[in-house]
């Protein structure tokens, strides 16, 4: 069978995720890995989930947990999420919430909903690799979103016109993957202003919003949109949330919060895709979240803050001149910019071979293939000993390369 003869054109755009491939290194015990932006399993609320899952398959609850369900998602979980969104300045109801199989599925659905081949998606340089992969399947053109820039809406329209039109702006606004940076209020309003000028949607990726270690919380773009437009039903912003970074990624429970009109359209995609996310998982997440979400978040933030501080201190001690890095107020990542002539992918090969330290080369996060002289480090899974040893080895490698 010659598969190339029957594949869709979009198949040629699909490629393996560098991060997913690097996660295989976690099985090698001698590797110090700063590659995967994944939670520390030691922090999972395992006892709470054991009880919640047991409760879900006992008695009459099992009839709901093990049966087909509505595509919108488990109603008590949607109601709880609506309450949480309200606390962030987004007055809404359960009808404004769709449960997805992780926020990654939400990004895939949004790419499918908005993008025709040749349309333009505005993304930051760099941006979340998973978003690029999700959108890329729908054959878009990518253009650079500069929240604090002065590029005009007319310029975006002119550049997109040859192949389609601009459809949405995508941004991770709090402790972004991969940089760890947070957009200030001016930048958030700037994205909304641009979206209004272009009459496009805004996709707000809030995967790390709960993981703030310090500083005052900023309103989500959706909250700003609600205030401007007079309520959620008139907004253009779609907020994508997830429990993967706070409770447990393996259960694959995320959500989209938006105006009912667009939620109803996403429900149709859900029906055609997997009917609904696993009800058993949703019931367990709802019970655990309702009984102790805030306490769980405080627990993991305390640990991740210490690890961020360990990594920042180690970088100060071991990095050579010419290397710069971000200082995030939360999340899981620190971004390094290297001297212009270095290549992160080549450095990774040397690091694995000689230092046994893994990270993600930065070029993977740029839609245009730039950013080779950068890399992403995650501090979420490593203790102080691992962080100190790994950054020391990486610093020594960079010193040798720069001297050589």
Instruction: Please write the tens of the pLDDT for every residue from 250-272.
Output: 999 999 999 999 999 999 999 99
Predicted local distance difference test score (pLDDT) of residue 25: 65
Q: Does domain 46-292 bear CATH number 3.40.50.720? A: no
Q: β-strand 374-378 against 333-337: which pairing, if any?
A: antiparallel
Residue 29: per-residue pLDDT: 82
Does 17 or 401 have the greater pLDDT score? 401
Q: Given this model, what pLDDT does residue 92 score?
A: 98
Q: What is the rounded average pLDDT for all residues in the chain? A: 95
**CA-to-CA distance for 202 and 196, rounded, in angstroms?**
10
pLDDT band at 366 (very low <50, low <70, confident <90, very high): very high
Residue boundaries of the structural domains of the chain:
3-45+295-403, 46-292
Rounded to an integer, the average pLDDT of 323-329 is: 98
pLDDT tens digits, one per residue of 163-172 = 999 999 999 9
- Lookup: tokens for 190: 């700037």
CB atoms inside a 10 Å sphere around CB 90: 25
Whether 110 has a pLDDT exceeding 90, the answer reads yes
Q: Does residue 17 carry a pLDDT above 70? A: no
pLDDT band for 21, please (50, 70, 90 cuts): low
| pTM score | 0.95
Say whether pLDDT at 12 is over 90. no
Query: pLDDT at position 404, please?
Result: 74
Write out pLDDT tens, residues 201-256. Answer: 999 999 999 999 999 999 999 999 999 999 999 999 999 999 999 999 999 999 99
Give yes or no for residue 143 having a pLDDT over 90: yes
Q: DSSP string covering 46-62, please?
A: HHHHHHHHHHHTSTTHH
Among 176, 128, 124, smallest CA distance to 151 is for 124
| Residue 22 pLDDT level (bands cut at 50, 70, 90) | low
14-28, 176-190, 372-386: lowest mean pLDDT where?
A: 14-28
Residue 27 in this model has a pLDDT that exceeds 70: no
Give the confidence band of 11 by pLDDT, cuts at 50, 70, 90.
confident
Q: Which CATH class is domain 3-45+295-403?
A: alpha beta
What's the pLDDT tens digit per position in 267-302?
Answer: 999 999 999 999 999 999 999 999 999 999 999 999
Same fold across 3-45+295-403 and 46-292: no
- Section 334-358 average pLDDT: 95
Per-residue pLDDT at 67 exceeds 80: yes
The two tokens of residue 269 are 């995609």
Give the confidence band of 23 by pLDDT, cuts at 50, 70, 90.
Answer: low
Question: Cα separation of 243 and 119, whole Å?
Answer: 31
Answer whether residue 47 shows pLDDT above 80: yes
| DSSP string computed for 222-290 | HHHHHHHHTSGGG--EEEEEESTTTT-GGG--EEEE--HHHHHHHHHHHHHHTSS--HHHHHHHHHHHH
Kindly indicate the confidence band of residue 381, based on its pLDDT and cuts at 50, 70 and 90.
very high
């Amino acid at each position: 069978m010659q598969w190339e003869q029957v594949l869709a054109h979009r198949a040629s755009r699909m490629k393996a995720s560098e991060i997913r491939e690097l996660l295989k290194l976690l099985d090698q015990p001698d590797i110090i890995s700063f590659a995967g932006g994944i939670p520390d399993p030691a922090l999972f609320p395992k006892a709470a989930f054991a009880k919640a899952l047991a409760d879900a398959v006992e008695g009459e609850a099992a009839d709901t947990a093990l049966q087909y369900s509505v595509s919108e998602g488990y109603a008590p979980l949607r109601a709880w999420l609506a309450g949480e969104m309200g606390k962030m300045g987004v007055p809404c109801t359960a009808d404004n919430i769709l449960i997805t199989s992780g926020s990654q599925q939400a990004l895939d659905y949004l790419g499918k909903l908005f993008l025709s081949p040749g349309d333009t998606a505005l993304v930051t340089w760099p941006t979340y690799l998973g978003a690029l992969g999700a959108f890329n399947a729908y054959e878009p053109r990518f253009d650079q979103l500069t929240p604090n820039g002065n590029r005009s809406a007319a310029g975006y329209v002119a550049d997109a016109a040859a192949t389609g039109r601009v459809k949405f702006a995508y941004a991770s606004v709090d402790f972004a993957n991969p940089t760890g940076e947070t957009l200030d209020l001016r930048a958030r309003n700037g994205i909304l202003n641009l979206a209004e000028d272009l009459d496009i949607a805004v996709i707000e990726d809030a995967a790390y919003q709960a993981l703030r270690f310090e500083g005052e919380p900023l309103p989500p773009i959706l909250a700003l949109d609600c205030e401007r437009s007079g309520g959620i039903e008139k907004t253009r912003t779609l907020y994508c949330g997830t429990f993967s970074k706070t409770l447990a990624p393996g259960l694959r429970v995320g959500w989209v919060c938006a105006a009912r009109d667009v939620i109803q359209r996403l429900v149709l995609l859900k029906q055609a895709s997997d009917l609904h996310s696993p009800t058993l998982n949703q019931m367990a997440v709802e019970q655990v979240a309702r009984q102790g979400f805030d306490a769980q978040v405080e627990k993991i933030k305390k640990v991740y803050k210490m690890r961020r501080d360990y990594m920042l201190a180690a970088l100060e001690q071991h990095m050579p001149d010419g290397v710069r890095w971000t200082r995030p107020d939360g999340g899981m990542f620190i971004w390094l910019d290297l001297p212009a002539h270095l290549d992160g992918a080549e450095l990774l090969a040397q690091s694995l071979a000689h230092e046994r330290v893994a990270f993600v080369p930065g070029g993977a996060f740029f839609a245009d293939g730039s950013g080779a002289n950068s890399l992403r480090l995650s501090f979420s899974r490593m203790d102080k000993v691992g962080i100190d040893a790994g950054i020391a080895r990486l610093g020594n490698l960079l010193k040798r390369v720069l001297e050589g």
